[in-house]
Copies of this chain bind each other. A is one copy, B any other.
């Protein structure tokens, strides 16, 4: 299958106009493939050094109420590459510089910011915030992570990367490794993978297993699942090894974090066991869960994966604002 089939039809594109990207469960496989094709269309424009004006005069509000580097910067760069402008709010646990510090609700903030922009990209530390945000928004919203909830643009760039690296999704075996309980990137990725003919291996400590609703969803789609806490075993079988960080900020108990944080560390030992042509992904940032020696392995695709965030986010911004039509 040649997954990338050129710029989609106006009908396929217009489906996304004024739509929110909150999670992937609401999209069909065909819609997901539309996004992939638009991303590829923009990647080719970038490679050809084309100066784009698709979003000339438009404004993105990048609202990051939780620390972020690559998601925020790639959305902002995507907006600039499309010829648009950006207004930004960044927050950290240690210091709040926006009205949330004064006690304003997220809903009120969004209601106001609607008037200042054409599209919102928003990250919140609160699980489920995407629903509150979407309810208040009158411009399209792209959820950039809501606590342990969803992070759909990450899953889309994961899928885009796998297609580019492996030629497609069907028939592959995926090992998802790390904190599967709190990892919003794997939650969103599983939503996408469930549309395909894949096998999944969940590799986590017992305390950090996938939430049960995800098992139910996969069972409904007939996706075979294996569980293990043995990374060596999983490495032997994985066409795609998806590492994640044990996220300190999700633990209430620091000692629990300290006990678990180093349970999975990917080394050359694991890489040597991988099937031929296997790739390693990671949503980044990494702390120490992939040793830097692994970076030189040709299948170590995590930095290429991060780079793919740019065309994928260009696609999302242009699609939901109708600017790619």
Query: Which residues of A come within 8 Å of B, CB atoms?
Result: 51, 56-57, 59, 61, 64, 67-70, 73-74, 76-77, 80-81, 83, 85, 87-104, 108-109, 111-117, 245, 247-249, 284-288, 303, 306-307, 309-310
Q: Is A116 a contact of B285 with CB atoms below 8 Å? A: no
A51/B57 contact (C-beta < 8 A), A68-B98, A102-B249 known: yes
Most buried by B among A73, A100, A287: A73
| Distance between Cα atoms of A283 and B68 in the complex (Å) | 30
Residues of B contacting A87 in the complex (Cβ-Cβ under 8 angstroms): 73, 76-77, 80
Q: Is B286 a contact of A69 with CB atoms below 8 Å? A: no
- Which of these, B81, B116, B284, B306, contacts A73 with CB under 8 Å? B116
- Which of these, B73, B96, B102, contacts A245 with CB under 8 Å? B102
Residues of B contacting A111 in the complex (Cβ-Cβ under 8 angstroms): 303, 306
Q: Is A92 a contact of B97 with CB atoms below 8 Å? A: yes
- Give 25 pairs: A residue, B residue, CB < 8 Å, sorted on A: A51-B56, A57-B81, A59-B77, A59-B81, A64-B97, A67-B96, A68-B99, A70-B113, A70-B116, A73-B87, A76-B116, A77-B87, A77-B117, A91-B97, A92-B97, A92-B101, A95-B95, A102-B247, A102-B248, A102-B285, A104-B287, A111-B306, A112-B307, A115-B307, A116-B310
Q: Is B96 a contact of A73 with CB atoms below 8 Å? A: no
Residues of B contacting A56 in the complex (Cβ-Cβ under 8 angstroms): 51
Q: Which residue of B lies closest to A88 (CB)?
A: B88
- Which of these, B74, B98, B99, B284, contacts A116 with CB under 8 Å? B74
Secondary structure class of chain A's binding surface, majority of residues: mixed
Q: Which residue of B lies closest to A91 (CB)?
A: B97
Q: Which residue of B lies closest to A78 (CB)?
A: B116
Q: Which residue of B lies closest to A60 (CB)?
A: B80
Q: How far is the CB of A153 from chain B (nearest CB, A)?
A: 14
Q: Is B102 a contact of A287 with CB atoms below 8 Å? A: yes
A89/B116 contact (C-beta < 8 A), A57-B51, A95-B95, A99-B284 known: no
Taking A57-B83, A69-B109 as given, write out 6 further A-B residue pairs in contact, using a Cβ cutoff of 8 Å, ordered by the A residue number.
A74-B115, A77-B117, A92-B96, A94-B96, A95-B95, A112-B306
Q: Is B248 a contact of A286 with CB atoms below 8 Å? A: no
| Distance between Cα atoms of A95 and B96 in the complex (Å) | 9
| Distance between Cα atoms of A94 and B96 in the complex (Å) | 8
| Distance between Cα atoms of A56 and B68 in the complex (Å) | 27
Q: Is A104 a contact of B73 with CB atoms below 8 Å? A: no
